[in-house]
Amino acid sequence: MRLFWEILKRSFQRHLTYRAAAIAGLVTNFFFGILRVSVLLAILGSQTSIEGYGRADLFTYMALTQMMIAYLSLFGWYDLMNAVYTGEVANDLLKPIGFFSFWLAQDGGRAAVAFVLRGVTIMALYSLFFEMAHPGDVGHWAAVCLALVLAWLVSFTFRFLLNLAAFWTPNARGIGRFGYTIAGFFSGFLMPLAFFPAWVQTLAALTPFPAMLNVVVEVYLGHLTGQALAQALLWQTAWAVGLYVTGQMVLRSAVKRLVILGG
């Protein structure tokens, strides 16, 4: 366990050195968020709310989704895939820590830096300039924090599984891009899932993607309370465990196929 935290700490320190890139990404996310929320406000028009989302809710939704881009690597994560193609994966498999745990620790450090430098900051900036809706008590904040951690676990286990495609093809980036595109749509990143037709929401519920983002938004806005909140958090946990188990099964098969320098 100590080795896991040491790897996570060093990953955090390594990603923390790229502060200029984080600031540039923050500025980009902020202004693209304004463009995105402008479209949603146009849909809202003169109405007070749509499917439970008022003006303040839409600003909060946009801030949360922009915050999650870097935190969850929503636009793509290919580190494991690249390690397979360079052969570095052989060293990773020989480390005195589980292969999944090694990559989980690496991504944990990256996600923590993204959350601090870009996530918290962009929420503060949006709160400074726009009307926002925030949790009102400690219990609500605790539920949001738990949903955020579970969202990261679901995201990582999905990205880990997707990157394992590199063991079967000389260029799996196409598979990766397809996977991230589908995830972006069904996670509720383009717009709240509540805005989509019922059949799209039903289809999305069959995938792990709402557990990455949409659940966090609904928990933050207070749309999920009591039993519904507990069920949403359990659903996130179930998807994280399910994707982890699937990833381990695929990994065992993938390692049998691994050939590096003919060995």
Question: Tokens for 242?
Answer: 């399910």
Q: Is the pLDDT of residue 197 over 70?
A: yes
pLDDT tens digits for range 218-255: 999 999 989 999 999 999 999 999 999 999 999 999 88
Residue 195 has pLDDT above 80, yes or no: yes
Residue 94, H or E segment: helix 89-94
Distance of CA 186 to the CA centre of its chain: 12
State the virtual CA torsion across 196, 129, 116, 225 in degrees, nearest 10: -50
Q: Does 262 map to a domain? A: no
Q: How far apart are CA 28 and CA 44, in angstroms?
A: 25
- Average pLDDT value for the chain: 90
Inside any domain, residue 263: no
Domain count, the chain: 1
Under DSSP, is residue 89 helix (H, G, I), strand (E, B) or coil? helix
Task: Tell me, yes or no, whether 217 lies in a domain.
Answer: yes
Cβ(81)–Cβ(172) below 8 Å: yes
Confirm whether 251 is domain-assigned: yes
**pLDDT tens figures, 51-94:** 889 888 999 999 999 999 999 999 999 999 999 888 888 888 88
Q: Tell me the residue range of the domain where 67 lies.
A: 2-257
What whole-number distance in Å separates Cα of residue 122 and Cα of residue 63? 7
pLDDT of 131 strictly over 90: no
What is the residue type of 148? L
